[in-house]
Structure formats: C-alpha cells, structure tokens
Amino acid sequence: MIKKKFFKEITNQDFLMLGDMPSIGNEKLVIDWLKSNYFAANYLKQVLYDYKAFVCSRDNEGNYLWQGSNYGDETVRFDPLKPSSILGRELCRVIVEEEIDRMTPIFHKSPGEKFSYENSDVLSFLMSKRKIFEWLFLVLDINGIILKSHDGKWIGKNNMRSRDE
C-alpha cells in the first residue's frame, strides 16, 4: 500500500470539487464515476496541457483548437521520459498508451455555441479513455481527496466530514 504523501497543495477547483464524491462501493465504480464527471475531465485537460501532451492554438475565427502535441507531425513534442516523479512517469505511460498525445484537432468550445462541459469535444475525448481516470483515482487517493471509509466504500473527503458531523 502506498503511504499517503502530499506532494504539493493542489488548488485547482475542478480537482477539489472531486472531494464531493458520494459514497461508492469499490475502485472500479469510483473510476466509472470519475469518467462521467466533467470536473474530473476538465482537471485532466489542464494536467495534460501542463505536461505538454496537448497543445492549443487559435483558428482564423478566434476559436481555440486543441490537439495532441504529437498529432500528425514527425517532430515529437511530448517527451514521456521527462518527469522525475513516479506519478509523472505513470501519467506519461498512460498518455502514450492511450495515444492522448496523438489526439486529432478538436474544439473545447464549439464555434458559435455557448460553452458547456457537455458539448466539449476535448472532454468527450478524455472521457473515452479509462486509464487516465485510473491515474486520477490514484492521485485523488494519495492527496486525500477521496478516502476509503471504515465500511470499505470510497467517499469524497467533503462528504466524509459531513457524515462524521
């Protein structure tokens, strides 16, 4: 079992919102819940951008187009060997294995439409990838955002507090 170590305080609001996870029976069901959660997918979008697995550019109409950093180019921009931490290397392994770094160009906000998580092609793409959510499960557990309760179920730390009160 991995000893909980808080690497750094994560202040991303989408990440912290996952602390509101309801009580869920097992790890597989938690990962399924995460895969259907737009806050989880949006947090992962930002992490992948920070790791340079995604790049973002503007088209001629001013819309933002996202794509995998290694999509359709002989020049490899994403380097999976760069991170020094175990979690970083595991994330990079997942990025390459699920070909996230080769995502075709798609919009986060569709041109001419009001933004919503539900209409984001980038989030839909991520929500189709299971292993990235398995990695997120591990990060949430290590950082104490989700906890295994005394009854063996997983629960968000915010709901654990309210259950104890």
Contacts for 7 with CB less than 8 Å, ≥ 6 apart: 85, 87, 142, 143
Looking at the chain, which runs of residues are DSSP E strands? 54-58, 64-68, 106-107, 146-148, 154-156
Inside any domain, residue 13:
no
Domain count across the chain: 1
Boundaries of domain holding 62 = 25-164
Query: Quick check: is 29 in a domain?
Result: yes
Return d(Cα 140, Cα 137) in angstroms, integer: 5
Q: pTM of the full predicted structure?
A: 0.87
Supply angle C-alpha 17, 20, 24, rounded to 5: 130
Q: Is 92 within a domain?
A: yes
Q: Answer whether residue 17 is part of any domain.
A: no
The answer to whether position 78 is within a domain reads yes
Beta-strand runs (E) in 94-153: 106-107, 146-148
Question: Does residue 14 lie in a domain region?
Answer: no
Is residue 8 assigned to a domain?
no
Please report where in the chains the tokens 């380097």 appear, as a residue: 79
Would you write out the chain's pLDDT as a tens digit for each of its 165 residues? 444 544 567 788 999 999 999 999 999 999 999 999 999 999 999 999 999 999 999 888 888 899 999 898 666 677 777 777 889 899 999 999 999 999 999 999 888 889 899 999 999 999 999 999 999 999 999 999 999 988 999 999 999 765 554
Q: Amino acid identity of 138? A: L
* DSSP H helix total and E strand total for the chain: 7, 5
Question: Which pLDDT score, from 0 to 100, does residue 78 have?
Answer: 78
